[in-house]
Amino acid sequence: MTQPLIQMKNIEKHFGSVIALAGVSVDIHAGECHCLLGDNGAGKSTFIKTLSGVHKPTRGEILFEGRDMHFADPRDAIAAGIATVHQHLAMIPLMSVSRNFFMGNEPTRKIGPFSFFDHDLANRVTMQEMEKMGIVLRGPDQAVGTLSGGERQTVAIARAVHFGARVLILDEPTSALGVRQTANVLATIDTVRKQGVAVVFITHNVRHAMAVGDRFTVLNRGRTYGTAKRGEITPEELQDMMAGGQELATLESSLGSTV
Amino acid sequence: MADTPQIVMDERVKQISPMRRAMIRPELGGIVGTIAVFVFFGLFAFDSGMFNSQGIMNWSVVSAQFMIIAVGACLLMIAGEFDLSVGSMIGFAGMMMAIFGVTLGWPMWVAILVTFALCISIGALNGFIVVRTGLPSFIVTLAFLFILRGFTIFLPQTIERKTIIGGIREAAEGDWLAALFGGTIGKGFFTWMGEAGIIATFERGTRAGEPVVNGIPMLIVWALGLVVVGHVLLTRTRFGNWIFAAGGDAEAARNSGVPVNRVKITMFMFTAFCATVFAACQVMEFGSAGADRGLLKEFEAIIAVVIGGALLTGGYGSVIGAALGALIFGVVQQGLFFAGVESSLFRVFLGVILLFAVILNTYIRRIITGER
């Protein structure tokens, strides 16, 4: 097996007396979709924030391409190629897709001593990238507000990849979406993975995870229960690990179906 | 999930008509309003002298005044903030120029430059307090509305024992920088138009033969210049994209690497700059600075911007629209005078059109974002 892009070894994160992460180890490879499952309060958010440079781990080490990494702030992580697509998207509904796509990274063209926003280039690139992801826009000047939630996720993902993300952290991208939109986002994840980007897909929905995941890591009460490969584990087993086993099994038998 | 979805056009997304496309341009309200206003006064006040050279100059100057402050207020509003201290800033800036240039006897260009530096610093302070405390700019600049007005009354009373300082025109005589705010351009052209009989000339008195309008005031040049610079900055530059982003959703903009705080503070400074330009033109024209100058200007600027299609909540608007809003403002204010209508009705008009504009803008916003 090739060297992992990112290795996180025994990460611990304490907030005062609260132990949010109590020794988490995960490795992420280029071109794979690594699903991180966990129920609410399992430490998913803390884990993402540690990976994306928002928090510094209390103990443990992060290796990026085999080298020790210390991110001072999120900008360091972004510069290294670790991009996060948040639940609350970095998209502005009133602005056009192309203005959003290049927000913070505007292409400029110099005319004399002044540099201007290169709208032609921005529009062209936006249309191309959207086409690759399977989104048909009326035009690059269409406002993001008119896109569906799934399409917005896809724009955000396409943007991160276009600007050189090598690791893409998706924080519950499907949690607020309908069935069809979820399918679109999962298809986007698949497209991105094939381009050689490492995807960290955080979710608490086992079915979504099983649909695209190559490997699965379950977080529970700040610990990892190990990583399983696709085909080595059933959805039921994942669900049990997330919930901590027994209680859910009892609950399930009384409800008579899969939760 | 083996199947990849085909690219299909969603049948529920209707192609939008060109009409609807035109509707979502922020300038639309301004354009329609401008046409309506000119048609109205063309029909009802054409013979009143409103459209001869003097009349045109009259409402152009008033509109240009509104335009100067509207450009600043517009960019600031798109960046998501308000400045209620614009009117007080105008009074304060004029008074400081008078105190530096007349009372202290500094050369006028030094007085003007120092005033600009002082006022832009106060604008920066406004912005700094807003971004640092996270308080609404409404309340922070309301505080400065009173603070600056207070100083504008206190300083001349303490120094000169009066609230109006005159003698600025004499102090500014031959000053290179003062001429940039007080003079006129195109004198030769207007003299030619007078001689050619295109515009009226004085018939009697010492100035017989000279045209009644002898040039375009620098105030108008500043107004047009600021509109062009503001429009290009907003729509054609990287910084313009940041202005939209900062006002649209500051948190999302920060996540994408936009220096939101810097953008907002810069816009507060630009608003202060516009107010100081207004003040400089005004004191050069009147030859004096008064403690009550600029009263209510902050609201007039905001109204012009809203008529021009900007959203009060930020993130959307147009400098051209704001300029048209200012034009509507100026034409109606002076037009009612030409048409012989009681001038207090202007306020009624203002209230009605403001309400109408805000409702229209909210509707347009819904179209853009697809909300219901």
Delimit the domains of chain B by residue range.
Answer: 52-184+238-369
Q: Tell me which of B281 and A154 has the higher pLDDT.
A: B281
**What's the confidence (pLDDT) of residue B1?**
38
Structure tokens at B243: 């202005």
Tens-digit pLDDT profile for residues B231-259? 999 999 999 999 999 999 998 888 788 89
Residue listed under structure tokens 């209230």: B351
**What's the confidence (pLDDT) of residue B117?**
98
**What's the confidence (pLDDT) of residue B284?**
93
**What's the confidence (pLDDT) of residue B226?**
97
Q: What percent of chain A has pLDDT over 90?
A: 14
Chain B residues with CB under 8 Å of a chain A CB are 1, 4-5, 7, 9, 13, 15-16, 232, 236-238, 240-242, 244-245, 248-249, 251-253, 255-258, 311, 315-316, 365, 368-371
ipTM here: 0.83
Q: Are B55 and B49 in contact (CB under 8 A)?
A: yes
Tens-digit pLDDT profile for residues A51-105? 888 888 888 888 888 888 888 777 778 888 888 887 666 788 889 999 999 998 8
**What's the confidence (pLDDT) of residue A89?**
67
Confidence of residue B4 (pLDDT cuts 50, 70, 90): very low
Q: Do B241 and A134 touch (CB under 8 A)?
A: no
Q: Are B159 and B99 in contact (CB under 8 A)?
A: yes
Q: Do A92 and B7 touch (CB under 8 A)?
A: no
The answer, for A184 touching chain B at a CB cutoff of 8 Å, is: yes
Partner-chain residue, chosen from A90, A116, A138, that has the shortest CB–CB distance to B236: A116
Distance from CA of B182 to the nearest CA of A (A): 29
Question: Residue A259 above 60 pLDDT?
Answer: no
Partner-chain residue, chosen from B4, B9, B241, that has the shortest CB–CB distance to A187: B4
Distances (CA, A) of B21 to B50, B218, B310, B346: 35, 37, 17, 33
- Helix axes B53-78 and B218-236, enclosed angle (nearest 10): 30
**What's the confidence (pLDDT) of residue A225?**
76
Distance from CA of B325 to the nearest CA of A (A): 22
**What's the confidence (pLDDT) of residue B344?**
86
Q: Do A186 and B244 touch (CB under 8 A)?
A: no
Q: Do B4 and A106 touch (CB under 8 A)?
A: no
Q: Do A183 and B5 touch (CB under 8 A)?
A: yes
Question: Residue B10 above 70 pLDDT?
Answer: no
Average pLDDT, chain A: 84
- Lowest mean pLDDT segment, chosen from A67-81, B72-86, B324-338: A67-81
| Cβ atoms < 10 Å from Cβ of A82 | 26
Q: Which of A59, A49, A10, A2 is nearest to A28 (CA)?
A: A2
**What's the confidence (pLDDT) of residue A219?**
86
**What's the confidence (pLDDT) of residue B230?**
97
Question: Residue B320 above 90 pLDDT?
Answer: yes
Question: Residue B306 above 60 pLDDT?
Answer: yes
Q: Do B7 and A104 touch (CB under 8 A)?
A: no
Separation between Cα atoms, residue B237 and residue B6, nearest integer Å: 37
Q: Do B370 and A88 touch (CB under 8 A)?
A: no
Regarding the domain delimited by B52-184+238-369, which CATH topology (the fold level of the hierarchy) does it fall under? ABC transporter involved in vitamin B12 uptake, BtuC (1.10.3470)
Tens-digit pLDDT profile for residues A37-51? 888 778 888 888 888
Separation between Cα atoms, residue A221 and residue A46, nearest integer Å: 12
Confidence of residue B199 (pLDDT cuts 50, 70, 90): confident
The answer, for A259 touching chain B at a CB cutoff of 8 Å, is: no
Tens-digit pLDDT profile for residues B95-116? 999 999 999 999 999 999 999 9
Average pLDDT over residues B170-196: 87
Q: Tell me which of A179 and B290 has the higher pLDDT.
A: B290
| Cβ atoms < 10 Å from Cβ of B359 | 10
Partner-chain residue, chosen from B4, B242, B252, that has the shortest CB–CB distance to A89: B252
Q: Are A169 and A202 in contact (CB under 8 A)?
A: yes
Q: B104 exposed, middle or buried (CB, 10 Å; 0-12, 13-18, 19+)?
A: exposed
Q: Which amino acid is at A107?
A: P
Confidence of residue B372 (pLDDT cuts 50, 70, 90): very low
**What's the confidence (pLDDT) of residue A90?**
74
Separation between Cα atoms, residue A133 and residue A150, nearest integer Å: 12
**What's the confidence (pLDDT) of residue B187?**
83
Q: Tell me which of B140 and A26 has the higher pLDDT.
A: B140
Confidence of residue B326 (pLDDT cuts 50, 70, 90): very high
**What's the confidence (pLDDT) of residue A151?**
85
**What's the confidence (pLDDT) of residue B2?**
41
Question: Residue A159 above 50 pLDDT?
Answer: yes
Q: Tell me which of A210 and B13 has the higher pLDDT.
A: A210
Q: Tell me which of B91 and A72 has the higher pLDDT.
A: B91
The answer, for A105 touching chain B at a CB cutoff of 8 Å, is: yes
Separation between Cα atoms, residue A86 and residue B252, nearest integer Å: 10
Separation between Cα atoms, residue A194 and residue A224, nearest integer Å: 27
**What's the confidence (pLDDT) of residue B17?**
64
Average pLDDT over residues A206-215: 89
Q: Do B315 and A105 touch (CB under 8 A)?
A: no
Question: Residue A178 above 60 pLDDT?
Answer: yes
Q: Tell me which of B25 and B270 has the higher pLDDT.
A: B270
Regarding the domain delimited by A6-93+165-255, which CATH topology (the fold level of the hierarchy) does it fall under? Rossmann fold (3.40.50)
Residue listed under structure tokens 């007396």: A17
Question: Residue B264 above 90 pLDDT?
Answer: yes
Q: Do B252 and A88 touch (CB under 8 A)?
A: yes
Give the A:B interface size as CB pairs under 8 Å: 98
Q: Where are the domains of chain A?
A: 6-93+165-255
Partner-chain residue, chosen from A90, A106, A108, that has the shortest CB–CB distance to B255: A90
Confidence of residue B370 (pLDDT cuts 50, 70, 90): low
Confidence of residue B18 (pLDDT cuts 50, 70, 90): low
Task: Specify the 3-state DSSP secondary structure of A23.
Answer: strand
Average pLDDT over residues A104-124: 90
Q: What angle do CA B350, B356, B360 make, to 5 degrees?
A: 140
Confidence of residue A1 (pLDDT cuts 50, 70, 90): low
Q: Are A82 and A169 in contact (CB under 8 A)?
A: yes
Average pLDDT, chain B: 89
Q: Which of A99, A232, A89, A103 is nearest to A150 (CA)?
A: A89
Separation between Cα atoms, residue B264 and residue B242, nearest integer Å: 10
Confidence of residue B12 (pLDDT cuts 50, 70, 90): very low
3-state helix, strand, coil in chain A (%, to 5): 35, 30, 35
Separation between Cα atoms, residue A151 and residue A145, nearest integer Å: 10
Confidence of residue B11 (pLDDT cuts 50, 70, 90): very low
**Which residues of chain B have a CB within 8 Å of the CB of A88?**
251-252
Q: Do B248 and A94 touch (CB under 8 A)?
A: yes
**Which residues of chain A have a CB within 8 Å of the CB of B16?**
138
